[in-house]
Amino acid sequence: MPRRIRYDAWSPGTGPTWTTPWCEPGFAFHELVASWSATTPRGTWIDVAAQARGTRSWHVVGRWASGPVTRHRASVPGDPEVDTDVWRPTGGADAYRLRVALQGARRTLPKVHTLGAVVCAGPARASASAPLRRRDRILDVPRLSQMTWKEIGGGGWCSPAAVSMALAHAGTRPPSTDIPRAAAEVLDPA
């Protein structure tokens, strides 16, 4: 349900914030991955953080800005409970809340369209479940390699390459999108 953001304290570099109500998944969880959709005008960004009930600490799980050229799209290093974009609360948690801080110039603030999270109660399974209807299928996914651009950083672009291949297979990849452009859109330098 959309909620209005209160503009309480304002100072450059620390914009208004919005905090969700407490979310109780119904079980103790050990991992949280936040997800959001936002539009950030030039020079603005959002910080997304998570907190466990019974603690005072907020854990930044993402600093993000839309558009191809931004310095504000990265994980925030230094928190022992956050690994890139996964928050692993020490000892687990049974409830969480998220906070979004809008950053940038007061006259042009980001707009957050959606905000959510998924939580996990335990380690990932070592094996995959049986395929539905037990039928093997081979997908004709285009073969692309990030190593084609090794000289400009492609050696670390496996995620952008995978996104490019999946979008090309689905027929939704814009014709001008190649792996370096995908890397500029989705790569987390941290």
- Looking at residue 133, its pLDDT comes to 65
- Looking at residue 76, its pLDDT comes to 80
Cβ of 28: how many Cβ atoms within 10 Å? Answer: 14
Q: For the chain, what's the residue count?
A: 190
Token code pair at residue 152:
């400009």
| pTM across the whole model | 0.70
Q: For residues 116 and 34, is the Cβ–Cβ distance under 8 A? A: yes
Q: Where are the domains of the chain?
A: 17-120, 138-186
- Looking at residue 53, its pLDDT comes to 95
- Looking at residue 132, its pLDDT comes to 67
Regions of the chain where pLDDT drops below 70: 1-14, 68-73, 106, 124, 131-136, 173-177, 186-190
- Looking at residue 134, its pLDDT comes to 63
Q: For residues 15 and 109, is the Cβ–Cβ distance under 8 A? A: yes
- Looking at residue 108, its pLDDT comes to 82
- Looking at residue 20, its pLDDT comes to 94
- Looking at residue 103, its pLDDT comes to 87
Token code pair at residue 86:
């996964």
- Looking at residue 167, its pLDDT comes to 81
Chain position carrying tokens 């687990």: 92
Query: For residues 33, 36, 42 and 47, what is the CA-based torsion angle, rounded to 10 degrees?
Result: -50
- Looking at residue 71, its pLDDT comes to 63
